[in-house]
Amino acid sequence: SNISWVAFLNTILVGGTMYVVTKFDAEECMQAIQEYQITHFAMVPIQYQKILTHENFSQYNLSSIKATMCCGSPLTVEMKKTIMDNLPGDFIELYGLTEGLITILPPEEMNEKINSVGRPYPGQELMIIDNDDNPVETGESGEIVGISAVLMSGYLNNEKANSDATWYDKNNRKWLRTGDIGRLDDDGFLYLVDRKKDMIISGGQNIYPADIEAILSRREEIKELAVIGIDCKKWGETPIAIIVAEEKAIINVNEIMQWLNSKLGKQQRVSSIIQVQSLPRNPAGKVLKRVLRETYKELEI
């Protein structure tokens, strides 16, 4: 993955030692940091959340940490600040693809550009294109495409996937389609909007689940959440939210939905909020929205 060649490969090149866990456990990770005096580590957002909210967090000496990195899925600004306020050392955010693209938001630019995921790693370029595959103006949203010296040669024995993942510019240069929606500012910093395949089209309007999730995440009684689109006779698609409550929290779904929808545009308003015990995730900690869409595809709205 991208974190492998950015972090782990560098550790090998300088003769460092790596401590690898086969399965994440928050307390075991804190024990390892304390016992082995670990200086650098990389985790996905949900892993940071589990460490920082662990009941024994304050009992461990984590002062050996010099730098922490986050990758795998977007971080809210609030979570970035929580990490920086509670863990020692520098904090670095990464965005990228295993196929060979990466952006880095370093500590010295974190405060000024905290809403972004940084700039392309040296030797890489990013561009934003619209639905007609034309480059957009700076500040406009569209699909993120990239070109890199370390870009993969292609997916093995899968020509359709290779074709779907490729975009050519006017100079016939081959770019990788990320499948992510984002925008670039005047300084070249990238801001993520959402996954292209997660976008909801409701009443002819493009709705980005991440916008809704950002507002819903302000609720302190909600531990985890995801917004997906399901079929709707009236609008074509409509957003719904799936939430996991904080331990011992009292959830009033109707009140939360009323509060949330009061802060959203008409087409963005969720049609349902569903409370569950946990969200499906892959081994890297990413929420599997395709599983959620399959689970709730028969829900009648």
For the segment 195-231, what is each residue's pLDDT rounded down to a tens digit?
Answer: 888 999 888 888 999 999 999 999 999 999 999 999 9
- Say if 119-195 and 199-295 have the same CATH topology: no
Listed in sequence order, the residues at least 6 apart from 9 whose beta carbon sits closer than 8 Å to its beta carbon are: none
Strands 101-105 and 90-97, bridge-based pairing: antiparallel
Domain ranges for the chain, please list them: 2-88, 119-195, 199-295
Give the C-alpha distances (Å, rounded to integers) separating 269 from 28, 145, 157, 218.
Answer: 41, 30, 42, 16
Determine what percent of the chain is predicted with pLDDT higher than 70: 98
For the segment 146-203, what is each residue's pLDDT rounded down to a tens digit?
Answer: 999 888 899 999 999 999 999 999 999 999 999 999 999 999 999 999 888 899 988 8
pTM for the predicted model, two decimal places: 0.82
Nearest 10 degrees: CA dihedral of 17, 21, 25, 26? 20
Domain 199-295 has CATH 3.30.300.30: yes
Fold of 2-88: Rossmann fold (3.40.50)
Task: Looking at the structure, give the CATH architecture of the domain made up of residues 119-195.
Answer: Roll (2.30)
For the segment 72-127, what is each residue's pLDDT rounded down to a tens digit?
Answer: 888 889 999 999 999 999 999 999 888 888 899 999 999 999 999 999 988 899 99
